[in-house]
Amino acid sequence: MSLHKRRTKAPPSWLHLTFIALGGAVLLFIVAPILGIYLKSTVGEVAEAAKEAEVRDSIWLTLWVSMAGTLAFAFACVPFAYILARKTFPLKGLITGIIDLPVIVPHSVAGIAILTIVARDTFIGNVAESMGLEIVGTPLGIALAMAFVSVPFLINAARDGFAAVPERLENVALGLGASPLRVFFTVSVPLAWRAIVSGLILMWGRGMSEFGAVLIVAYHPMIAPVLIYERFGAFGLKYSRPVSALFMAVCLVIFVILRLVARRRGNARS
Amino acid sequence: MLEVKNLSKRLDTFAMRDVSFNIGQGEYFVLLGVSGVGKTVLLEIIAGVMRPDRGTIALDGRDITFRKAQNRSIGLVYQDQALFPHLSVRQNIAYGLRCRKASRSEVREKVTNFAERVGAQDILDRNVESLSGGEAQRVALARTMVTEPRCLLLDEPIASLDAQSRGEVRSLLRDLNRRGQTILHVTHDYEEAVSLASRIAIMEGGTIAQTGSPEDIFHHPNSEFVANFVGIKNFFRGTLEPPAPGGQLSRFADPSGLRLWVLTDQAPGTGCLLFRSQDLAIANERPQTSAKNIFEGQIIDIIPAKLGVEVTVQIGVKVSALLTRSSINSLRLEIGKTVWVHFKASAGRFLRV
């Protein structure tokens, strides 16, 4: 909307001004603590933290494990989201509810739950071990814990994206001789792409920030949130703050870049 | 060529029952019906994107009722065109060829060829969302035609276009049909039906009320619904001659030798001429009138209509005039009586075919 158009609108009422003030308070509530971390940490402290191999390793581990987990789960989640968007079947409501379950399960409980099925003395643990795979205390375990709490974000976003693709376009593609698989990859996915990418970013971001579930499944190797917690416990606020500032800066930069890339692709399409 | 037998489908909003018709090779078959009688659903069932509850569909003698949409060789063009918004015009037209794993040179050649046929050669690199309604319709036609379907299904292809695009798309469809393309076209617009169809089926309440040539349907509607729906009984096929130099009126001649005056801005050529029954007047003596079309004939039928009474007069061809009951009485009209029928040249409506 142009500035000119906005000016011709009626001036905001007291009600709207109140709403805006409330919104401002909430924004401040989000921004102030984050800003506080940066205001309280000096550049020197953050640079010092960045020099530590332990800190760098943990940030890198957090990034790649959450990214790998997200991409791996996308192979199953995106087709599943398509089915949820297109088909009606018995117990669909129940299944939709189950998908949202990880959002309300306390994350420590989620960690305990995952550990219960993947620990060394369990069926899955034994099968994985016989294949030479360790889950507990490894990046694989971390990825599973992250995915458990973040997978609803991808499925729900992709499902909404597919639901917004007119079914008629898929019918036309079928009529033109495309197989259902071809229709999925050349019509449905490209048109839902923006929502899928948005879901991937959300899942990745949520996974990366996970602490509770990961702590229980894999204290070591240490991801950044666990390292921050450990430093806080052992050395206090002053020593955990620079690592927090550094980790958050890295996350923010990647988050903003991905958002921009996704938006540009979306704009190019529309 | 396309045989539809006893097709039935029940959905939440309507029920379609026992729809049957045959379309011959090269025919232009128009299914005419008011909105919401399930015309689009019927096309989707024939195209294979929806299953019927009952009934069969056969193409070239082979049952295709349960064949997958992608293997039917039936092309469906929707009213809203349903172009792929993420692809360019060129990629849209090429889509069906890519599905058939056509070589790159074949894709290029056919896309150019069909784009030229529909007049879309200059917009190949455009984004589909920047196209006008008429352009989008032509691209949608090219996209389907490029797969060379045995039968082309069109869902209200003209309804949403502006007046100029309507004419263009209409002549494009006529041209495709002349080249041998079998077409099944659904519409609610009888003018569209008359100007394109070689055969028409009228759909009423989820079933086919009447099938026949446009002449049959318009002259001999078999039910009140058909009569009211098609509305126009005075329907002639023939040739429009150019107006005499300096004159405004054109002559229209039908094969039986009937010649009518008509005021039209349409170019000369073959087509059909429509007169509404309410524009025809009847007199007992030859009238002194400004009307240019005056004929003597015999009344062959008098039927009460929803509004007034319909009088059919044989003037070489049958014409129908809608009169009030009091006129019938005051003129003492009865079957067998010789009367004069007159109507103005400006009341005629000529449609190019």
Q: Which of A174, A176, A269 sits opposite B143 (nearest CB)?
A: A176
**Interface-testing mutation among B46, B49, B51, B156, with chain A (most A C-beta atoms within 10 A):** B49
The CATH architecture to which B235-352 belongs is: Beta Barrel (2.40)
Inter-chain contact A182–B99, Cβ cutoff 8 Å?
yes
* CATH number for domain A45-269, candidates 1.10.3720.10, 3.40.50.1110, 3.40.640.10, 2.40.30.10: 1.10.3720.10
Contact between residue B48 and residue B72 where contact means Cβ atoms under 8 Å apart = yes
CB pairs under 8 A between A and B: 65
Q: Which residues of B touch A181 (CB under 8 A)?
A: none
Residue spans per domain, chain A: 45-269
Q: What mean pLDDT comes out for the span A146-166?
A: 95
Given the cut 0.95, state whether the ipTM is greater than it: no
CATH says B2-231 is which class? alpha beta
Mean pLDDT of chain B: 88
Inter-chain contact B76–A177, Cβ cutoff 8 Å?
no
Asked if pLDDT for residue A49 goes beyond 80, the answer is: yes
**Interface-testing mutation among A86, A88, A172, with chain B (most B C-beta atoms within 10 A):** A172
Inter-chain contact B48–A182, Cβ cutoff 8 Å?
no
Asked if pLDDT for residue B228 goes beyond 70, the answer is: no
Q: Which of B133-147, B201-215, B300-314 has the highest mean pLDDT?
A: B133-147
Q: Which residues make up the CATH 3.40.50.300 domain(s) of chain B?
A: 2-231
Question: Where residue B103 falls among pLDDT bands split at 50, 70, 90?
Answer: very high
Q: Which of B72, B95, B100 sits opposite A173 (nearest CB)?
A: B95
Asked if pLDDT for residue B247 goes beyond 50, the answer is: yes
- A98-151 pLDDT, tens digit per residue, is 999 998 999 999 999 999 998 888 888 889 888 988 888 899 999 999 999 999
Residue of B nearest to A169 (CA): B82
pTM for the full predicted model: 0.79
Residue of B nearest to A265 (CA): B86
Q: What is the pLDDT of residue B33?
A: 86
Whether B144 contacts chain A with CB within 8 A? yes
